[in-house]
Amino acid sequence: MEFKIVIIEDEEAIRLGLKDSLEMERYKVFTASDGEAGLEVALRTRPDLIVLDLMLPKLGGYDVCRKIREKGLRAFVLMLTAKKEEMDRIMGFNAGADDYMVKPFSLMELLAKIKAIFRRIGKEQSVVETYRMGRLSMDFKKYEMMIDGKSVECSTKEFEIMKYFVLHPGEAVSREDLLDAVWGYEVYPSTRTVDNFLVRLRQKLEPETDNPTVLKSIRGVGYKFCPENL
């Protein structure tokens, strides 16, 4: 299976170095040096992965990511950022990013993360393809979520988290379980990453986000999916 990657990065050394390295790994690579061009390339090529710099000319990374999701593109978005503040990462997730790397980073580290992402994408998925319960309907092949019959925008990671919950209904699931199952990296993000994604999912699933009944917090453990409350 040939994976397609779009690199949207204004720093020429990073953009060209990453392109050359990825093409040596036999990925099909497209590049852009600004946000507007990157958005056009992404929508035209429909890649599996987008490596997206946060600070871009013409159109910033947050806006590119948001517009990509608005257009229904489900590519995995790996955001590159020189900012270390937690709020910047949260803003990236809220815009539809799936993961991030903080600059400066080594090229080898970035390549390893990309390979890990594609290992997960390339794995045979669990047999569950659709799920319906109460107000919620999900199609895991088409990456479509509907609540009360209305389409709801979700990122790739949000779908993978929900798929894990669907396969483990009523079970206490730890943050580490979700990191292993959904991110699958040998060195994965912090458990706060899981919490950030759960906040977003609750905003979509819970009638009252201040009193969650569908995705409940289990003190000292993690979370529990209670589909009977949908």
How far CA 103 is from CA of 57, 116, 177, in Å, comes to 17, 19, 27
205: Cα separation from own chain's centroid? 18
pTM for the complete prediction?
A: 0.60
Instruction: List, in sequence order, every residue forming a beta bridge with 51; answer none if it has no partner.
Output: 7, 78
10-residue stretch averages of pLDDT, the chain, 230 residues long? 86 91 90 95 90 94 91 86 77 87 86 83 61 92 91 91 89 84 64 90 93 93 92
Q: Which CATH superfamily groups domain 4-122? A: Response regulator (3.40.50.2300)
Question: Is the CB of residue 52 less than 8 Å from the CB of residue 97?
Answer: yes
Return the closest-CA partner of residue 201 out of 160, 149, 142, 150: 160
State the Cα–Cα distance between residues 160 and 164, nearest whole angstrom: 6
pLDDT score at 36: 96
CB 97, CB 62: distance < 8 Å: no
**Spatial separation of the C-alpha atoms in residues 21 and 35, rounded to whole Å:** 22
CATH 1.10.10.10 range(s) for the chain read 130-229
State in Å, rounded, how far the first CA of the chain is from the last one. 37
Q: Please give the CATH number for the structural domain made up of 130-229.
A: 1.10.10.10
User: Quick one: pLDDT at residue 124?
Assistant: 40
- Determine the pLDDT at residue 64: 95
Neighbouring C-beta atoms of residue 129, cutoff 10 Å: 12
What's the confidence (pLDDT) of residue 169? 87
The Cα 205–Cα 36 span in angstroms is: 33
| CATH 3.40.50.2300 domain residues, the chain | 4-122
For residue 100, the model assigns a pLDDT of 87
